Amino acid sequence: MKNKLYIQMFSIHGLLRAENMEMGRNADTGGQIKYVVELGKALSQNDNIKQVDLFTRLIADKTVSEDYSQPVETINDKFRIVRIQCGGKKYIRKELLWPHLDEFVDKTIKFIRQKKLIPDIVHGHYADAGYVASQMAELFGIPFIFTGHSLGRAKKEKLVNAGLTENAIIKKYKIDHRIQIEEEVLKIADLIITSTNQEIKEQYGMYQCNCLPIFSVIPPGLDIDKFYPYYHDILPETDKDEIEMHAQASVREELNRFFMQPDKSLILTICRPDKRKNISGLIKAYGEDKELQSMANLAIFAGIRKDISKKEENEKDVLTEMLLLMDKYDLYGKMAIPKKHSFEYEVPELYRIAAEKKGVFVNAALTEPFGLSLIEAAATGLPTVATNDGGPQDIIKNCKCGILVDPVQTEEISHAIRTIIAETDLWKKYSKNGIINVRKYYIWKNHAKKYIREISKLKTSAVKTNLRIAKPTDPIGRRIIKLKHFIVTDIDNTLTGGDKESLKKLLAILQNNQKSIGFGIATGRTVESAVKHLGKHDIIHPDVIISSVGAELYYGKKLHFSRGWETHISKQWNRAKIKNLLDKFDFLKYQEEDTQRKFKISYYMKPEKDNIARIHAILIKNRCRYNLIYSHDKYLDILPFRASKGKAIRYLSYKWDIPLNNFLVCGDSGNDTEMLKGVSCGVIVGNYSRELESLKGSKNIYFADRQYTGGIMEGLNHYKFIEKTRL
Ligand code: GLC
Ligand code: MG
């Protein structure tokens, strides 16, 4: 029981629910939706798994079903869908979700904290969830699995080939951002699961970091109960329900509308009306082979349509060409091109009808990344002729249920179909192989088994082979999530600068209370300079470093950079514009380059006349958003309007769910003002500089008599802070 795994999966975009999935409703609701739910179900049924939570975006939007606004959807006692809100509540297409993912991370951390359950493994599906899962993995030191489902570089190539300009692609699809995230995900993923071998070579092969993670090919499974073999229907006692019988009858009727001799064998294809599916190649193969026409009819199910003229360009071309070829080869009475079918019930019946007629399923696509239809056909006992590319290569190798052909050689296609239909023994062999091997290679139960085997093989610091998760080396997230109290202090002239004796005492207190109190610093220094300075004074490594006056935030010894904070403060920040405006003032002297940051512009300025007012005036007139901080009568820092030491503490409190009044905050100067205010326990050391004078009399701010660390000790006493943590 102890060693069972808790897996958190992420599949953020689209409309995700376990029942009545809206596959194909829009471009974000594709096969991935079904994949993640079925994977979750399969994993939850495995004995090695304790719990699976599938995280997705919460959407409360009148234009979509209410189901997507339920915070938790329970699928079984070990599997649920958890919905987290980010970027408002309206539906947003996946390309526009990027700026909101850090919010998703933060809220997921809160969820974990509230439930007190840290996952053993995180698994991200698609680049967006890959990003979220990678952040979780880094913070909590847990293994990270990634499944791309599709990748940006391959998509970009396709869009370029389709004639879109670079500019349009970047604008509409944000593809470069996606690619950059994918590169980063590959850098830290421990395991990448793909559906086919080709995906590894040809898709991940396009990435610079493709040699870093371990890859494992685990094809998705099939719902075997739906795609049962055709002979179940022929046997005297079938247990088909009314819906299935109705579906079968309507498919038969539909086909009979087209065929002069419906009893002939049947060549079947089911695919989207997409040029790459090469439907025209199949019609040509059939149209040019009279012998084949005498043996079998051809049925093409190319999506659902009402009015071809209203379809989008690619589809319209494909459908029009279909009709023209039917006419050219005079295939009336032999070729069926039905306008609609229901995926859920009619598709399995179609395969079974074709199998019963000793027919063949054809997938002659020019490229085929996976080829689920071949597996479905094989499962029902329908032999296949498939393109010698991508997924079908794996499928035919595993299932031995048909023949691979070069899709541009139409004669090769027709010859293969003819061979299977004509040679009864061959047909029987392929039919049987398909039924048996799909049940061996392509069922979710086996997928889950292999998945768990692969996880336990991972040689990362965090996983041992016997499924017991070892403690990772620097699991800063694991530590912070347990903390309820924090001491955050400024460095210069507060923690250091004098009173070495008290500093020693404070360090001892921190050490003795390490389990319950977190230690943070908030400084004007850069992170590099802060770390160096702390080292010089033998100060223990903080759990959190707020550096450059709140322009940056880091966690733990490894200095894990908080992207969440960066994204949060980057809003409406225009560094170049502000610098340009301020450079004009000769009372400002730009500070040394090594103090300047992406989100901090610093000057030296004397406290003369109306300098500050003039700065505000020019920035406001030019509609800049910023935060101005002046300290020690000398330093002027301009930060994004959302950044400051105090706001960074508020962000920490929110993200890690630690109440603000459980923070003890200490400082000495103007750049500490904001963090000292509010409900946290503020402590101002005796040697404070005059800009803090105005805080006298404020609630929750204690002015210590003693200077430097001595003042901090006094503050600890004043608030009975240590005693409070023991309550
Ligand atoms: C530190 C920084 C400087 C900043 C000052 C006040 O000295 O190096 O850039 O202006 O703190 O925040
Ligand atoms: Mg200071």
Tens-place pLDDT, residues 381-408: 999 999 999 889 999 999 999 999 999 9
480 and 457 belong to one structural domain: no
Same domain, 237 and 210: no
Report whether 15 contacts 28 (CB < 8 A): yes
| Final residue belonging to a domain, choices 428, 461, 494 | 461
Pair (132, 68) in one structural domain: yes
152 and 247 housed in the same domain? no
Residue 142: what pLDDT? 87
Q: Residue 591 has what DSSP assignment?
A: P
Q: Per the domain annotation, does 403 fall within a domain?
A: yes
Range of the domain at 72: 5-221+447-461
Beta strand 627-631 with 635-639 is antiparallel
Look up the CATH number of the domain holding residue 41: 3.40.50.2000
* Domain count for the chain: 3
The backbone torsions φ and ψ at residue 624, rounded to the nearest 5 degrees and listed phi first, read -90, 145
What's the confidence (pLDDT) of residue 468?
Answer: 41
The answer as to whether 553 is a domain residue is yes
Tell whether 429 is covered by a domain.
Answer: yes
Statement to judge: residues 454 and 499 lie in one domain: no
529: CA distance to ligand 1 center in Å? Answer: 11
Cα(607) to centroid(ligand 1), Å: 16
Q: Do 234 and 90 fall into the same domain?
A: no
Q: Is 593 inside a domain boundary?
A: no
Tens-digit pLDDT profile for residues 112-166:
988 888 899 999 999 999 999 998 988 888 899 999 998 999 889 888 887 888 8
Q: Which atom of ligand 1 is nearest to the CA of 526?
A: 8
Same domain? 202 vs 249: no
Phi, psi of 590 (to 5 degrees): -60, 130
Residue listed under structure tokens 């997921």 = 108
Which residue, among 666, 670, 658, has the nearest Cα to 717 in the 3D structure? 666
For the chain, residues with pLDDT lower than 70 are 1-2, 236-238, 343, 459-474
Residues 45 and 181 in one domain: yes
Residues around ligand 2, an ion, CB closer than 5 A: 490, 492-493, 668-669
Give the model's pLDDT for residue 292: 97
In ligand 1, the atom with minimum distance to the C-alpha of 671 is 12
Distance CA 262, CA 645 (A): 78
Based on the fold, state whether residues 58 and 146 are members of the same structural domain. yes
**Nearest residue CA, atom 5 of ligand 1?**
524
Let me know whether 37 and 119 are in one domain: yes
Residue type, 450: K
Is 718 inside a domain boundary?
A: yes
Please report, for the domain that includes residue 679, its CATH number. 3.40.50.1000
712 located within any domain: yes
Question: Nearest residue CA, atom 4 of ligand 1?
Answer: 524
Separation of CA 596 and ligand 2 centre (Å): 18
Angle at 687 between CA 681 and CA 688, to 5 degrees: 60
Which residue's alpha carbon is nearest to atom 10 within ligand 1? Answer: 635
**pLDDT of the residue at 699:** 85
Which ligand 1 atom is nearest residue 596's CA?
A: 9
Calculate how far, in angstroms, residue 234's C-alpha sits from the geometric centre of ligand 1.
Answer: 83
Burial degree of 100 (CB within 10 A; 0-12, 13-18, 19+): middle
How far, in Å, CA of 304 to CA of 113, rounded? 47
CA distance 15 to 56: 9
Of the candidates 664, 643, 644, 671, the one whose C-alpha atom is nearest the C-alpha of residue 493 is 671
C-alpha 585 to ligand 2 mean position (Å): 26
- The confidence score (pLDDT) of residue 474 equals 57
Ligand 1 proximal residues by C-beta, below 6 Å: 524-525, 549, 591, 595, 602, 631, 635, 637, 671
- Give the mutation target among 490, 548, 549 for probing the ligand 1 site: most ligand atoms within 8 A of CB: 549
Q: Which residues contact 551 (CB under 8 A, 6 or more apart)?
A: 569, 597, 598, 599, 600, 639, 640, 643
Q: Name the residue at shortest CA distance from atom 3 of ligand 1.
A: 524
pLDDT at 469: 43
Torsion angle of the four alpha carbons 686, 692, 693, 694, in this order, in degrees rounded to the nearest 10: -150
Beta carbons within 8 Å of 708's beta carbon, 6+ residues apart: 493, 494, 495, 496, 497, 498, 499, 502, 503, 685, 686, 687
* Cα 498-499-500 angle, rounded to 5 deg: 100
Residue nearest to atom 12 of ligand 1 (CA): 524
Q: What number of other Cβ atoms are within 10 A of residue 31's Cβ?
A: 15
Q: Give a yes or no: residue 592 inside a domain.
A: no
Mutate which of 490, 491, 525, 632 to test ligand 1's pocket (most atoms within 8 Å of Cβ)? 525
Q: Within 13 Å, how many C-alpha atoms sit on residue 452's CB side?
A: 25
Helix, coil or strand: residue 30: coil
**Stretch (H or E) spanning 132:** helix 126-140
Counting from 1 in the atom list of ligand 1, the atom nearest the Cα of 632 is 6
Q: How far is the CA of 715 from the centre of ligand 1 (A)?
A: 25
Q: Output the CA 630–ligand 2 centroid distance in Å.
A: 12
**What integer pLDDT is reported at residue 236 of this predicted model?**
66
CA 523 to ligand 1: nearest atom: 11
Closest ligand to residue 594's CA: 1
Q: Which ligand gives the minimal distance to the CA of 637?
A: 1
Residue 611 domain-assigned (yes or no) = no
Give the pLDDT of residue 493: 94
Instruction: Give the closest ligand to the alpha carbon of residue 685.
Output: 2
Q: Are both 27 and 57 inside the same structural domain? A: yes
Ligand 1 pocket test target in 490, 548, 595 with most atoms within 8 Å of CB: 595
Ligand nearest to the CA of 671: 1
283 and 327, same domain (yes or no): yes
- What single-letter DSSP state applies at residue 559? T
* Closest ligand 1 atom to 592 CA: 9
